[in-house]
Amino acid sequence: MNGRADIPDQTRNALICNAFQYLPKLNMGETMKIFILVMIMLVPANALAAGWTTWAKIVELAQNGGDTVMIKFDTTVGQCGDYTRLYYKPSEAGQPDLFYSTLLSAYMGEKQVTIHLHDPVTCGGFNSQKIKIPDYIQIRD
C-alpha cells in the first residue's frame, strides 16, 4: 500500500494497464501530430511565464525599511508605474548576501545587469515591480 488509496499496488497497476487497451489505436503519423499539437500549446505558455529584464545600469540602490531593497535603473526594466525601478526582499532570496553584493559591484563598477522576473507582476512601493525570486542575475560590461 502506498497510502494514496485502499487499492493494493498490483491491482491498481493492473487497472491502469487494462485502461490502455481501450485507447484508440493510433498510427505513428497521428501520434506525431498530437504530440506536436500538445507541444505547440505548452511551449508559449512557459515562455511567457517569466523573463529577463533588458540589460541596464544601476543608478541607485536604497534600503527601505528593514526588509526591502530598491533598485533604480537607467532604462525601462519593469512593468509597473515607474518602469525604471525594481525591488526585492532579502528574506526571500536564497543567498541574499550574494545577490546584494552582485548588485553593489555592478553599481560601483558601472556594469550592466539583467535580472530574471517571474509572473504574476506585483507592484509595490514607489510604483516599482517586485523581484519575486531574487536569485537570478547576470552582469556584463
Region of poorest pLDDT, from 8-12, 27-31, 75-79, 122-126:
8-12
Instruction: Decide if pLDDT at 138 tops 90.
Output: yes
pLDDT in tens, 84-129: 999 999 999 999 999 999 999 999 999 999 999 888 888 887 788 8
* CA–CA dist 78, 45 (Å, integer): 20
pLDDT in tens, 46-73: 333 368 889 999 999 998 877 899 999 9
Fold topology of 51-140: OB fold (Dihydrolipoamide Acetyltransferase, E2P) (2.40.50)
Of 81, 86, 53, the C-alpha closest to 69 is 86
Q: How far, CA to CA in Å, does 34 sit from each of 25, 27, 38, 41, 47?
A: 13, 11, 6, 11, 21
Q: What is the CA radius of gyration of the chain?
A: 24
98 is written with which cell numbers?
550574494
Higher pLDDT, 25 or 95: 95
* CA–CA dist 13, 15 (Å, integer): 5
